[in-house]
Structures are given as C-alpha cells and as structure tokens.
Amino acid sequence: MKNDDRFGELDSLDKYELENESQDIRGWQVHSPADEVYGKVKDMLVDKDRKEVLAVRLDDGRMVSTDKLELKDGHAVYHDTGAASKTGYARVRDRH
C-alpha cells in the first residue's frame, strides 16, 4: 500500500458533516484485494474549496485517495492499480 502524501492541505472531517451521515467510514478496516488488513480509517479528509472528501487517513498516518477505495460490507478495499469505484460519501457541508 502506498502513502499518498499529496493531501497535506486537506481538512479533517471534524470541521464538516457528511451530507449522508450513514456514509461515515471512520473506524472501518482497509483491506487489500487479497484481504490483507492495512489498518483502520482514522479520519476522512476534505477539500475545503470543493467540499468533497478526497482522501482518508489510516491509524498509522498513511493517507489514501478515495478514488482508490471500494466500499463493501463494512470495510474498504484499497486498489493500487487505479480507481475501484467512486465513493458515494464525497459531499460535505460546514458544521452549524
């Protein structure tokens, strides 16, 4: 699994709320396609201008682009060779 360090300017989801709270994947495990566990999602990272989740931070500090994640059955699968499927939790709004 590669760390994607291009996401240094993103904000923590804690400053926002998901438009659909049921799509919060913090705490979910991230697996390889061969079912190797890479870690758990510690935070979801938001582009403050676009108001979209673009990456997740794992519990070991690695960051992964959401376009490399496929969500299924309570965990995420990391696909290193390209986008798996577009995530459906990308839109956020400011907390009130």
Domain that holds residue 65: 5-94
Neighbours of 95 (CB within 10 A): 9
Domain count, the chain: 1
Is pLDDT of 81 > 70?
no
The arithmetic mean of pLDDT across residues 77-87, rounded, is 61
Closest CA to 46 of 90, 1, 95, 2: 90
What does the pLDDT look like over 6-22, one tens digit per residue? 666 788 888 898 988 87
What does the pLDDT look like over 13-67, one tens digit per residue? 888 989 888 789 999 999 999 999 999 999 999 988 888 999 999 999 888 888 8
Residue ranges in the chain assigned as alpha helix (H): none
Which residue, chain included where needed, has tokens 């997740």?
56
Which residues neighbour 66 within 8 Å (Cβ) at sequence distance 6 or greater?
A: 53, 54, 55, 56, 87, 90
DSSP classification of residue 10: P
pTM strictly above 0.85: no
Distance CA 10, CA 5 (A): 11
Q: What is the CATH number of the domain that holds 89?
A: 2.30.30.240
